[in-house]
Amino acid sequence: MHSSSQVVGSNLYNDLIQKYGNKLKCSCSLIASPRNRFVNIEAKFHEICSSPFVSNEWQINLTSGLVSNLSVYARRDYRRFLSAHLQFLTGLCELSMQSVNNSIDQFLSSLFVTVQLLPETDFHERLDLLIEQSKLNAPTIFDNLLFLIRSVNHGNAIISTYGTNFEYVVPWSEVLHDTYASTQAMIYNDECSCGLYMNCLSQASFINQNSSEIIPIKGLRIGCTPSESFHASTLECFYDPSCINLIQDNTNYIKSINFTSSLNPLSIMKSQYSINATIAELIDNLFIEQWIATINYSSYFERCSPLLCSYTCIEQFNLLYTVTVLLGLQGGLTIVLK
């Protein structure tokens, strides 16, 4: 038996869906709507991306005490890498946030198409699946872009301006302009050559120019290029007040009157990542701590605006009724034949 009922609101629909379940089919008067009409998505990012450590003011205060000609520092001195690492960190945060926001905007502006009204459970399941797919796809473009840049830099043997991957055999100032300038690759831990590999690393340290004392900096690495070494670094130092002070002391840090932010260490309680998580791990997750999605079924129901619902009921086979009908037909046929 096929029946239909006019739907005027969600209350009547709820009564019908409870009574008929999956047998109930309601056609939408509007089959396509932008997802932002009933979905909202926000991303919460790692604390580092909103901290003073990525602010331009703090970075200027920190590096203004360094000698502008970084070549005066030893090749393994972290002061050669510091400014580049901080700029790279700021850029990663900005690009991650931009990439995530673009992904969210694209997702929310896409159309959600349903010819028939979805029950609330099916509606949530379908959107949850779409959101999960979007979350998985979000880092892909960003990762591919970074990999391309890294591969181009290494494949073309581009010499770092910080003098960290190749060095001239003869000082550049002594090379005639029409003479070939030969270089040799820098060697880091485990005899790793920057001419062969792009991810050669060593522990980041400050080297005292007077005593040659080596002061290691927890969590940070140096290597062929600042970007590569920062990939393998962690944010451990930024969780430790003594490590932050160590960096500031060795850069002649002077706080300017324009810098009003309170420079507090990062809090491990505010992050899902371990204190030893590498920057590469954070990049793989676009520095995201949490996705917050809000789905509103009532808004979807209003957009769908079902005007008519139908349901099909299959009645149980009644043997007595069938026999009665057949006997009635036989009697009628007998009279006609006579």
Nearest Cα neighbor of 134 from 168, 164, 99, 162 is 99
Tell me what pLDDT residue 259 has. 60
- The tens digit of pLDDT for each residue in 142-185 reads 888 888 887 887 777 778 878 888 877 766 555 555 566 677 88
Dihedral sign (CA 150, 155, 158, 160): positive
8 A C-beta contact, residue 310 and residue 2: yes
Q: How far apart are CA 97 and CA 287, in angstroms?
A: 8
Mention every residue, 6+ apart, whose C-beta is less than 8 A from residue 91. Answer: none
Q: How far apart are CA 266 and CA 326, in angstroms?
A: 85
Dihedrals phi, psi of 184, to nearest 5 degrees: -135, 145
Indicate the angle between helix axes 120-155 and 82-109, nearest 10 degrees: 150
Chain-centroid distance of CA 296 in Å reads 24
- Whole-angstrom CA distances from 335 to 257, 298, 323, 324, 325 are 113, 62, 19, 17, 16
Q: What percent of the chain is helix, strand and coil (3-state, nearest 5)?
A: 50, 20, 30
- The tens digit of pLDDT for each residue in 61-108 reads 888 888 888 888 888 899 999 999 999 999 999 999 999 999 999 999
Q: How far apart are CA 57 and CA 208, in angstroms?
A: 26
Nearest Cα neighbor of 92 from 136, 143, 43, 58 is 143
3-state secondary structure of 5: strand
Tell me what pLDDT residue 252 has. 86
Tell me what pLDDT residue 336 has. 44
Indicate whether this model's pTM tops 0.85. Answer: no
Tell me what pLDDT residue 323 has. 58
Tell me what pLDDT residue 333 has. 46
Tell me what pLDDT residue 208 has. 87
Tell me what pLDDT residue 335 has. 47
Do the strands 201-207 and 192-193 form a parallel or antiparallel pair, or are they unpaired? unpaired
- Whole-angstrom CA distances from 115 to 70, 272, 306 are 65, 40, 10
Tell me what pLDDT residue 4 has. 57
Tell me what pLDDT residue 68 has. 85
Given a cut of 50, the residues of the chain with pLDDT beneath it are 1, 333, 335-338
Task: Give the domain ranges of the chain.
Answer: 30-304
Over its C-alpha atoms, the chain yields an Rg (Å, rounded) of 34
Mention every residue, 6+ apart, whose C-beta is less than 8 A from residue 124. Answer: 295, 297
In the block, residue with structure tokens 């509606």 = 123
Q: How far apart are CA 278 and CA 231, in angstroms?
A: 7
